[in-house]
Amino acid sequence: MSERILVIEDDPAILKLLRRGLAYEGYLVDTAMDGRSGLLMARDNHPDLVVLDWMLPGMDGLEVCHRLRTGSEVPILMLTAKDTVQDRVEGLDAGADDYLVKPFNLDELLARIRALLRRTQVKRIPILEFLDLKLDTGSRQASRGERIISLTAKEYELLDLFMRHPRQVLTREVIFDRVWGYDFGGQSNVLEVYIRYLRQKLEDGGEVRLIQTVRGVGYVMRETP
């Protein structure tokens, strides 16, 4: 299966070069020209790697990098005209896995992408497990023991997030950011509604509760106290 790469870059010429070069190498390519659109595309399409420009309109690449890193380990290759040591440190501290200064050589960029994808290949887990709960990320289907659990798209995304961060308290803000988008939160009770739906499906066979409420903070997947 071809890896999916998201390119977030506001320079049309560079964007065209990357889209053609990556597609020629056999990658599936998604593109966005600003940070907010890129975040939404990352949430919806689950890329295997992100090529991210530092200087973007509105939300800059560092902020995008921080937000992508919230609940995600997707490899990030940052592109920038900034080339001081401090700039490199700042980009890497924001969560970037690699750093390439403009103007860049396309062959070098492709080599760095291949290296990042090789490095993360072992981290890709097709089936997530927590106690008796399994989530097949290929079929997007869950099970507890022999009982199969069908999930809607949002229920799957929510469960996937919990299972990739077991025993880690996830705030409402983090969950909204990763499942519904960075600007969705507010006073909406949609999260509580989906937590209730998910719990009903996971506990329909009389199983113990795995998604626990942390009052005033958010939720966590852990053993029942």
- Closest to 38 measured CA to CA, from 56, 20, 21: 56
The span from the CA of 7 to the CA of 41, in Å, is: 10
How far apart are alpha carbons 193 and 127 in whole angstroms?
26
Q: Quote the mean pLDDT of the chain.
A: 85
Mean pLDDT of 48-64: 88
pLDDT for 76 equals 92
Mean pLDDT computed over 143-156:
90
Alpha carbon distance 163, 148 (integer Å): 17
187 pLDDT exceeds 60?
Answer: no
| pLDDT over threshold 90, residue 148 | yes
Q: What is the pLDDT of residue 181?
A: 64
pLDDT of residue 143: 94
Q: How many CA atoms lie within 13 A of 68 on its CB side?
A: 36
Determine the pLDDT at residue 200: 94
Highest mean pLDDT among 59-73, 172-186, 199-213: 199-213
